[in-house]
Amino acid sequence: KMIVVTTVISAFSAAWLGALNKGLEKRIIRQEDIYIRGPAIKELLAGAPNDPLADRIIIKEGDKIIPVYPWIENGKIKRVAVEWAGKGGYGGDVIVMTAVDLSTLKITGVKVTQHKETPGVGTRAMTPSYLRRQYKGLSAKAEIKLKKYGGQIDAVSGATRSSGAIADAVNKATKFILAHRDEIIKSIKKQ
């Protein structure tokens, strides 16, 4: 009898928490936009005449909601920024915001927004100067990976796993942008 009661309570709690999480999903994204993504977007899309946070576009990919932050100028899209998780960091996933110019399809900037890497050595791969040197100007069409795997990104000595996770996140973000480019442009025209 005790097992049945515990099972019913657990099932009810799980269903309630799942529904609550689903119901709060958009509010959670908005809070993350302000406090986590906001500073990265302001840096990567500095000078945008619009407010990329307010003009955010939601692209659904399967059951995932992917926010896309556009730079809109004269009614046309210039750049977008997308946040993606890179796998393989020493402390887990490394979350990276990547900005791409949609006319040239070049990466215009990269910024780490969340990580659990070791302070000091692990975070050397996240410095603005390193990220700018390694990623700015690369083609979004190229496969972004470390040189040791045949790519163009130099790993930071002692932070190879962090460097690899960042490269993975940038690669996934650029592939997403390329795959959804037309949908993003159409979404902006509807606004």
pLDDT in tens, 9-47: 999 999 999 998 888 888 887 888 888 889 999 999 999
92-101 and 76-89 strand pairing: antiparallel
Domain limits of the chain? 41-190
Residue 52 pLDDT > 60: yes
User: Residue 59's pLDDT is what?
Assistant: 92
Distinct helix (H) and strand (E) counts, the chain: 5, 5
pLDDT in tens, 63-83: 888 999 999 998 889 999 999
Q: What order of strands is seen across the sheet that includes strand 57-61?
A: 57-61, 64-73, 76-89, 92-101, 106-114
